[in-house]
Amino acid sequence: MSNIRFDKETNVLSIWSELLQKAITDIEKKTGVKDDEIEWIIFDEKDYLKCNFLKKNMPSFIYQNNYKYGFCYVNKKQIWISTSAIMTSSFTDFNRKLSMAPIRQNKKEILLVNVILDELAHIVTKENHGNKEYDSKLERYHKAYYGQNCFEINSLLEV
């Protein structure tokens, strides 16, 4: 079981931790990456940005459609995943979320998985986008998860 908690400033549903755990478990099975030392924090990105808008040393978010989906603190081994990332995963309706349908529906990009893989690559390599070690690690994670014939890594980084 992963070390998952909720950001204290956020009012979140417990189903979100279950969905995040399911995604983490699925990723661990397919990539072999373990999260034993990682603390996962679920946050509501809208609340978080309101509270932290002017704070310095704010890490970069993964952006798509003007939402902020995740970031990490490498030295603390913390990965922050937004409720938006969880809710915009490959699930299409709340009933499927409750039934805990498989995370991976097809070979297309799964936002929640991509956010997790990206943050894990940062934690493991302690590097950022554009660094050869980081890019190579992220590409290996994607190939392990999606298969050897997965789409170009550059398209994944455009989230």
**pLDDT digit string (tens) for 94-111?**
334 434 444 444 456 688
* Alpha-carbon gap, residue 39 to 73, rounded angstroms: 10
Domains of the chain, CATH where assigned:
3-156 (3.40.390)
- What is the torsional sign of CA 36, 68, 47, 95? negative
For residue 104, what pLDDT is reported?
43
Rg (CA), the chain: 15
For residue 45, what pLDDT is reported?
73
DSSP letter for 151, please. P
For residue 9, what pLDDT is reported?
56
pLDDT band (50, 70, 90) for residue 31: very high
Q: Over the stretch 67-76, which tens digit does the pLDDT of each residue have? A: 578 899 999 9
Would the pLDDT of 59 be above 80?
Answer: no
Beta-carbon contacts of 23 under 8 Å, excluding residues fewer than 6 positions away, are 86, 89, 103, 112, 113, 116
Computed over every residue of the chain, the mean pLDDT equals 75
Give pTM, 2 decimals: 0.74
Q: DSSP of 106-122, one letter per residue?
A: SSS--HHHHHHHHHHHH
For residue 67, what pLDDT is reported?
53
Q: How many angstroms separate the Cα of 102 from the Cα of each of 51, 63, 84, 124, 153? A: 34, 25, 19, 26, 23
Say what percent of the chain tops pLDDT 90.
45
- What is the torsional sign of CA 56, 5, 95, 115? positive
Q: DSSP of 35-69, one letter per residue?
A: -TTPEEEEE-HHHHHHHHTT-SSPPPPPEETTEE-
In the block, which residue shows the tokens 């398209």? Answer: 155
Would the pLDDT of 63 be above 70?
Answer: no
Would the pLDDT of 57 be above 50?
Answer: no
* Alpha-carbon gap, residue 75 to 154, rounded angstroms: 26
The DSSP element (H or E) to which 149 belongs, if any, is none
